[in-house]
Structure 1
């Protein structure tokens, strides 16, 4: 992945919201067939056994056992039983949104990965299946956690295929805003300055930024400042006032309140707890 796109990609990951709508493990029926439909959810298929046919966009596949397929929301798809042994597969339907956009509209990843010799993939699906059937108060949290682990596994194992930001994400003016924040977070950045980078009216810019990333521009700027504050607390002997000057928050009491609200520690306690000894 292009290093210059990493801050934008991390922002998407940090603000990802997932919802699981269906989960299963079964052998498909002989009438398993749907042609040229466009779902409003994403699908994962982990093929365990059998034969069949898939079409994702313009690409056709005859998946083999051990292959894990992603069928993204908003992409025309088809699938069908063939004359051989019917597919047995783990599957799930889910949404994965950053703001108002589907994650897989923002990232370019392959249609499938090979998990043939890795029992971890099947275990992750089993966990999701198990958590989905629970009635405990924590079940929704376990389901979300398991779904995030599935997505993380898929993305990590797609590294060999160099997953990247989609062309649409790369060409949007908001990428320029993220780059500007990364280079200038230590200054007194204003909404007007950031909006100018995107060539948008400030009020409209705030709405567009939040729809795209799931967080406000100022929240993102402060998050970047706090990340740098944490690093300087544990890697230097700088006074908090000096750190504040470096990260763009000269009001030390405000920096302390913001830091504690984010981490649960005062800056001093954080340094004592996590600093080198």
Structure 2
């Protein structure tokens, strides 16, 4: 995966908000069946044993023990008990929103992985289920953390599979914008120029960008510039004025202000701190 696509996916994940609505570990009942329904939530099924039938979109599956299924929100689905031993499975229903978009509408990701009957996915599901009866003050945070870890593990496993993980087709205009920013962050970039890359009206482009990434296009450009400045501070002996010229912020005073706002440190202390660490 090239750096631009990877950065786009990381931007989505950086703005991800999750909510768990249901979860469990059990053997399904004999009447476990529903046909051609479209849920407004995502589902994970981790099959531990037994037999059954799933349909996700237009594709039918006969899940096997050790397989981990993602059933995305907004996709027509069916499931039913088969004639053999009934499924025993870990499962959860959850939303995973990036702005106003379901994460799995923004990513092309396989809907089934081979995880094995024991291992990290099972441990992560048990961690999630342990939150179900938690009455502590921080229980909602622990539940979200456990769900985030489960999603992160699925995406990492998917990314290392033969299918991989890619931004969906609807992300292509924004991918072109991100690529343009990465190539030209060191010069004065305007909203009109970036909007043209996405083939959108400037005002609409700003709304679309913020809806996807939770930040404005110019804020993202500055974030990219600060990331490059951090790298130059710790890997070179360039003076701050030279770094500013390289990253597109020639005003040293403004660069220092922006840098401290982003990192909590001014450029010189940042350089000394990070160079003193191995």
Counterpart for residue 154 of structure 1: 154
Counterpart for residue 242 of structure 1: 242
Counterpart for residue 26 of structure 2: 26
- Is the contact between residue 15 and residue 215 of structure 1 (CA under 8 Å) also seen in structure 2? no
- Is the contact between residue 195 and residue 202 of structure 1 (CA under 8 Å) also seen in structure 2? yes
Counterpart for residue 214 of structure 1: 214
TM-score for both structures, normalised by structure 2: 0.92
Counterpart for residue 48 of structure 1: 48
SS at structure 2 position matched to 1:137: coil
> Segments of 4+ in structure 1 off by > 6 A?
none
Counterpart for residue 229 of structure 2: 229
Looking at structure 2, the residues matched to 59 and 84 of structure 1 have their Cα atoms a distance apart, in angstroms, of: 21
Looking at structure 2, the residues matched to 259 and 118 of structure 1 have their Cα atoms a distance apart, in angstroms, of: 46
118 and 246 in structure 1: CA distance in 2 versus 1, 3 angstrom threshold: farther
Alignment of 1:8-87 (within 5 A): 8-87=8-87
In the alignment, is residue 126 of structure 1 matched against residue 126 of structure 2? yes
1:204-238 Cα deviation digits (max 9, x unpaired): 21111112223211221111111111111111111
141 and 256 in structure 1: CA distance in 2 versus 1, 3 angstrom threshold: farther
- Is the contact between residue 48 and residue 117 of structure 2 (CA under 8 Å) also seen in structure 1? no
3 and 266 in structure 1: CA distance in 2 versus 1, 3 angstrom threshold: closer
Counterpart for residue 168 of structure 2: 166
* Residue 117 of structure 1: how far off its partner (Å): 5.3
Looking at structure 2, the residues matched to 177 and 103 of structure 1 have their Cα atoms a distance apart, in angstroms, of: 19
1:150-203 Cα deviation digits (max 9, x unpaired): 111111111222222223323xx2222111111111112122221222233322
- Is the contact between residue 2 and residue 164 of structure 1 (CA under 8 Å) also seen in structure 2? no
Looking at structure 2, the residues matched to 269 and 135 of structure 1 have their Cα atoms a distance apart, in angstroms, of: 43
- Is the contact between residue 20 and residue 92 of structure 1 (CA under 8 Å) also seen in structure 2? yes
How many pairs does the alignment contain? Answer: 275
- Is the contact between residue 21 and residue 92 of structure 1 (CA under 8 Å) also seen in structure 2? yes
Looking at structure 1, the residues matched to 86 and 183 of structure 2 have their Cα atoms a distance apart, in angstroms, of: 54
In structure 1, the gaps of 5 or more residues are none
Alignment of 1:82-101 (within 5 A): 82-101=82-101
229 and 96 in structure 1: CA distance in 2 versus 1, 3 angstrom threshold: same
* Residue 113 of structure 1: how far off its partner (Å): 0.6
In structure 2, the gaps of 5 or more residues are none
Q: CA RMSD in A?
A: 1.8
201 and 14 in structure 1: CA distance in 2 versus 1, 3 angstrom threshold: same
142 and 256 in structure 1: CA distance in 2 versus 1, 3 angstrom threshold: farther
